[in-house]
């Protein structure tokens, strides 16, 4: 077996035309990256239907579909991790060093007093997360700025676990209706309600579970972005 000419980067549903045979109306296509003779990524991604991708790789369609799904799941996981890091740390990026250090070491207890500098780590985490979401290898960039944060109402149960996360509606009347319903629900289960800002609902859970200082900066960042 020679070096394969392609590597599978993911599977997308925003391209419905096979870049190989031109067939249209495909439910999803496989993102293939060309490789040079040494096996390095070389050029830009093409989108093939599963059957043309299978021919190009000399694989079965089943193996193509499985590999593409796994590659996509890995990308989605990286994106989710990036959204969580940005939702936690972007609001403290310009906070006083003392606050930044408290937020960082609060989440990374084992690095306290090891010489790992919180300021540098936060900058590094944010740079990596932004690069992940700005990456357009197989599709458009994903939102990553504080201006892209949305608000989420989080209901905690009485044990401190999250029982529900819902996006806060833009419209004021609907927002108030949701806030009242959330409070009623929290009262019923003897829990509590919190509103946090984040890039998605998964990241909102992280912010909601974070310490008070992280949530304080989260609220400040939301206000500053919507002043």
Residues composing the chain:
227
Residue 32 binds Zn ion, judged by CB under 5 A: no
Segment contacting Zn ion by CB under 5 A, of 14-22, 85-93, 140-148, 197-205:
14-22
Residue 49 binds Zn ion, judged by CB under 5 A: yes
In sequence order, the 6+-apart residues with CB closer than 8 A to the CB of 14 are 139
Segment contacting Zn ion by CB under 5 A, of 49-57, 65-73, 78-86, 135-143:
49-57
Longest dimension (CA), the chain: 65
Q: What distance in Å separates the CA atoms of residue 151 and residue 100, rounded to the nearest whole number?
A: 22
Residue 91 binds Zn ion, judged by CB under 5 A: no
Specify whether the CB–CB gap between 87 and 104 falls below 8 A.
Answer: no
How far apart, in Å, are the Cα atoms of 129 and each of 23, 45, 71, 165, 201?
A: 36, 22, 18, 23, 17
Alpha carbons within 13 angstroms on the beta-carbon side of residue 125 total 23
Residue 64 binds Zn ion, judged by CB under 5 A: no
Residue 18 binds Zn ion, judged by CB under 5 A: yes
Number of residues that bind Zn ion (CB under 5 A): 6
Segment contacting Zn ion by CB under 5 A, of 2-10, 26-34, 41-49, 196-204:
41-49
61 token code pair: 């369609």
Give 22 or 161: the residue with its C-beta nearer to Zn ion: 22
Please, what is the minimum distance in Å from the beta carbon of residue 53 to Zn ion? 8
Please, what is the minimum distance in Å from the beta carbon of residue 23 to Zn ion? 5
Q: Which residues bind Zn ion (CB under 5 A)?
A: 18, 20-21, 23, 49, 52
């Amino acid at each position: 077996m020679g070096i394969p000419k392609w590597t599978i980067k993911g599977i997308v549903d925003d391209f419905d035309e096979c870049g190989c045979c031109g067939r249209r109306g495909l439910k999803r296509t496989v993102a293939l990256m060309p490789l040079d003779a040494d096996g390095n990524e070389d050029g830009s991604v093409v989108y093939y239907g599963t059957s043309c991708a299978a021919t190009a790789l000399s694989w079965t369609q089943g193996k193509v579909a499985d590999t593409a799904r796994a590659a996509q799941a890995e990308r989605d996981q990286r994106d989710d991790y990036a959204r969580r890091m940005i939702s936690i740390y972007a609001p403290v990026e310009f906070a006083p060093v003392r606050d930044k250090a408290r937020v960082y070491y609060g989440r990374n207890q084992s690095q306290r007093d090891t010489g790992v500098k919180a300021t540098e780590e936060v900058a590094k985490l944010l740079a990596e997360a932004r690069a992940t979401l700005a990456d357009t290898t197989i599709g458009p960039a994903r939102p990553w700025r504080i201006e892209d944060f949305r608000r989420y109402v989080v209901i905690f149960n009485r044990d401190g676990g999250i029982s529900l996360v819902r996006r806060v509606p833009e419209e004021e009347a609907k927002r108030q209706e949701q806030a009242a319903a959330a409070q009623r629900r929290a009262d019923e289960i003897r829990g509590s309600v919190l509103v946090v800002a984040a890039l998605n609902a998964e990241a909102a859970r992280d912010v909601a579970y974070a310490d008070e200082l992280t949530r304080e900066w989260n609220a400040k960042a939301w206000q500053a972005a919507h002043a």
